[in-house]
């Protein structure tokens, strides 16, 4: 089976500072992988390389067998728009837009007509327990509500891969668990592969497998054993 995502001997430096030192990682279709490690270990840099945001200095990144290194910046942008979804720690909603417009953004950027994109976006509010919030702006939402809107935006175009970078880092424990329940359940329902960066063992427990990154290298990879 072709890996949904793979990194092979990936190296990347920022100036004279190495961030990734020969990383190898393969993620199966539909797998939920938690990438863990201390601050500065290279885990977020690895996520950005897997997503085609950063281009490694050496090695290769492949998605469904396609070598991202060979793609132009425009082609990588189209890949992120059409096949990838993203959820970040602070949601990063556009404050000028309503919640529904934020969710619809990936569809609008992909050429879907506004009325159809908004209609499709609003379908997610009931699924994620935020009914009635579609016309609110980010400043009118709680942290948990805003992160559910961000999750809806990440999943609205049924991405092949969802990248989540510390998606519960700004939330209290209970709200974080609720967001992770929704993230994993919806991803499995859609058959979406998930690459989850976290430092929280409770969040990593939602994954099928944990990958530890230290000093720019993958040091261990192990299945998560359910309690």
Which of the pair, 88 or 134, is modelled with greater confidence?
A: 134
Report the Cα–Cα distance between both ends of the chain, in Å, rounded: 29
What is this structure's pTM?
0.90
At residue 149, the 3 state secondary structure works out as helix
Specify the CATH number of the domain 5-91+145-223. 3.40.50.300
At residue 25, the 3 state secondary structure works out as strand
Handedness of CA 92, 96, 98, 102 (dihedral sign): negative
**Phi, psi for 67 (deg, rounded to 5):** -85, 110
Q: Evaluate whether 123 touches 159 at the Cβ level (below 8 Å).
A: no
Give CA–CA dist 68/52, Å, rounded: 7
How many helices (H) and strands (E) the chain has is answered by 7, 10
Statement: residue 64 has pLDDT above 50: yes
How high is the pLDDT of residue 219?
Answer: 85
Q: Of how many residues is the chain composed? A: 227
pLDDT confidence tier of residue 54, bands split at 50, 70 and 90: very high
Q: Which letter does DSSP use for residue 70 in this model?
A: G
Statement: residue 188 has pLDDT above 60: yes
How high is the pLDDT of residue 226?
Answer: 52
The residue extents of the domains of the chain are 5-91+145-223
Q: Which letter does DSSP use for residue 157 in this model?
A: T
How high is the pLDDT of residue 90?
Answer: 64
Question: Rounded mean pLDDT of the chain?
Answer: 90
User: How many Cα atoms sit within 13 Å of 62 on the Cβ side?
Assistant: 17
Greatest mean pLDDT range, 43-57, 87-101, 167-181: 43-57
Average pLDDT score over residue span 68-75: 92
Q: Evaluate whether 33 touches 195 at the Cβ level (below 8 Å).
A: yes
Using one digit for the tens of pLDDT, what is the confidence trace for 114-158? 999 999 999 999 888 889 999 999 889 988 888 889 999 999 999
How high is the pLDDT of residue 227?
Answer: 46
């Amino acid at each position: 089976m072709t890996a949904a995502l793979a990194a092979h001997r990936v190296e990347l430096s920022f100036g004279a500072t190495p961030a990734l030192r020969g990383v190898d990682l393969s993620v199966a279709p539909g797998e939920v992988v938690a990438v863990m490690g201390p601050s500065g270990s290279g885990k977020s840099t690895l996520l950005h390389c897997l997503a085609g945001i950063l281009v490694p200095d050496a090695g290769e990144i492949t998605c469904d067998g396609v070598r991202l290194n060979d793609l132009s910046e425009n082609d990588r942008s189209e890949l992120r728009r059409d096949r990838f979804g993203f959820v970040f720690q602070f949601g990063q909603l556009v404050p000028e837009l309503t919640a529904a417009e934020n969710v619809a953004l990936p569809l609008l950027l992909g050429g879907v007509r506004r009325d159809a994109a908004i209609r499709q976006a609003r379908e997610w509010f009931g699924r994620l327990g935020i009914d009635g919030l579609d016309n609110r702006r980010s400043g009118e939402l709680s942290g948990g509500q805003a992160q559910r809107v961000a999750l809806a935006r990440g999943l609205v175009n049924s991405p092949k891969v969802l990248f989540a970078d510390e998606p519960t880092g700004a939330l209290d424990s209970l709200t974080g668990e609720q967001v992770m329940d929704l993230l994993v359940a919806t991803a499995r329902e859609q058959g979406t592969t998930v690459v989850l960066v976290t430092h929280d063992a409770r969040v990593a427990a939602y994954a099928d497998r944990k990958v530890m990154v230290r000093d720019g290298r993958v040091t261990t990879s192990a299945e998560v054993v359910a309690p």
